[in-house]
Amino acid sequence: MTVQPPSAAPDDAPAEVVAVTGPTSMFDRRVRSGRRLKAEHIRDYGIVVFFAAIFIYFSFASPVFLTSGNLLNIVYLNATIAIPAFAVTLTIIAGNFSLSLGAIFTLAEVLGAWAAVQWGVWWFFPVSIFSGAVMGFVDGLIVTKLRVNAFLATLATGLAYTGLALAASGGFNIIPTKGANIFTFIGQHSVSGIQYPDFIVLFVAIVLQLVLAYTVFGRHLYGVGGNRDAARLSGLKVDRIVILTFIIAGAACGIAGMIDASTTSQGSATNVLGTNLALLAIAGVALGGTSIFGGIGSVWRTVVGVFMLGMITNGFDLLGVAEYWQDVVRGALIVGAVAVGSMIERR
């Protein structure tokens, strides 16, 4: 088979709006064709209905919940979880896993702040994002070329990155004073009431969803995650594709680290979020309905999953529910969603 030039084929029908892309596309033909509701649809779209139900409940239960200020605040507060979660969705769809997200986030934040102090404030942005990408690249290399299980590989690199972050910062918070207004610009400013991180969340979500659903790379991700052997026999460069997903996840953690540093005006190696980020992000991915075994999922699902968790925190805070009960509810929710999914799968 030869790779044909991407010229328009004569048979080319005008691009239809209906997109049958991944198996779980929102526009899946079977759903559109209006056949009766199947168990499959509950698994595929049940989470959206559930999200709406909780949303409506909070809207009635709390007078503050359904205000644009509050909803934007939910996005703002969850930006540093959401962005890595969106990106790691790609890694997971390709059949891998990452536990080093929080460590990459922390080290990228420290390196970014360090560069801002040492080399000038403008270095802050490229250094935090680029260093995140490099750490993702290292993870990807270990997983593909050294054939270390992704779970263990990223557990190990996560330890190492966290150690490096402490070493690089010497245990102190790095606070850039020169150009502090630029350093804190992204995290502490807004335009017409919308914080900049909200825009970044939206941007990253849209870009990654489009990549997944409408690019050759995205299609290859589903192939690699769905059946690695078949993907290889179909001529896909499996290792390269997997490494790319780790780089994207790393860069996203770099962006999240950058936002966090900018918000707190400093680079800190001891940020609590760093220790929890990987698990929170993966909880959001799984809650949304992306299979942690790969091959099935979408970024929009992670959007639903992450913000469902964020919304519950916010709503319960507004209703005065204690934090520990919130954790119990969140835990139950994740188990419930995943159990329903696998129960339907088994039938």
- Please, which of residues 16-75 interact with another protein by CB under 8 A? 16, 19-23, 28-30
Burial of 193 (0-12, 13-18, 19+ CB in 10 A): exposed
The amino acid occupying position 39 is A
**14 interacts with another protein by CB under 8 A:** yes
3-class secondary-structure state, position 267:
strand
User: Residue with structure tokens 């419930």?
Assistant: 336
Compute the half-sphere exposure of residue 344: CA atoms within 13 Å on the CB side of its CA. Answer: 16
Residues 69, 190: Cα–Cα separation, whole Å: 12
Residues 97, 290 contacting (CB under 8 angstroms)? no
- The correct pick among 63, 69, 170, 235 for binding another protein (CB under 8 A) is 235
Binding track, positions 253-282, relative to another protein; x by CB under 8 A = ------------------------------
- The correct pick among 76, 78, 209, 220 for binding another protein (CB under 8 A) is 220
By C-alpha distance, which of 275, 257, 274 is closest to 266?
257
- Min CB(197)–another protein separation in Å: 28
Residues 220, 231: Cα–Cα separation, whole Å: 8
Residues 311, 55 contacting (CB under 8 angstroms)? yes
Stretch of 5-13, 104-112, 141-149, 175-183 contacting another protein, by CB under 8 A: 5-13
Instruction: Please report how the helices 272-288 and 238-264 are oriented relative to each other, as an axis angle in degrees rounded to 10.
Output: 130
Q: Which is nearer to another protein, 40 or 317 (CB)?
A: 40
**288 interacts with another protein by CB under 8 A:** no
**118 interacts with another protein by CB under 8 A:** no
Q: Which is nearer to another protein, 23 or 171 (CB)?
A: 23
- The correct pick among 77, 148, 206, 236 for binding another protein (CB under 8 A) is 236
Q: Which is nearer to another protein, 6 or 193 (CB)?
A: 6
Stretch of 14-22, 69-77, 249-257, 301-309 contacting another protein, by CB under 8 A: 14-22
**2 interacts with another protein by CB under 8 A:** yes
For the chain, report the end-to-end CA distance as a whole number of angstroms: 39
Kind plus residue range of the DSSP H or E element containing 190 = strand 190-191
Tell me the site size for another protein, rule CB under 8 A: 43
User: Residue with structure tokens 């088994």?
Assistant: 346
**142 interacts with another protein by CB under 8 A:** no
- Min CB(10)–another protein separation in Å: 10
Contacts with another protein by CB under 8 A lie at: 1-4, 6, 8-9, 11-16, 19-23, 28-30, 214-220, 222-223, 226-227, 229-237, 295-296
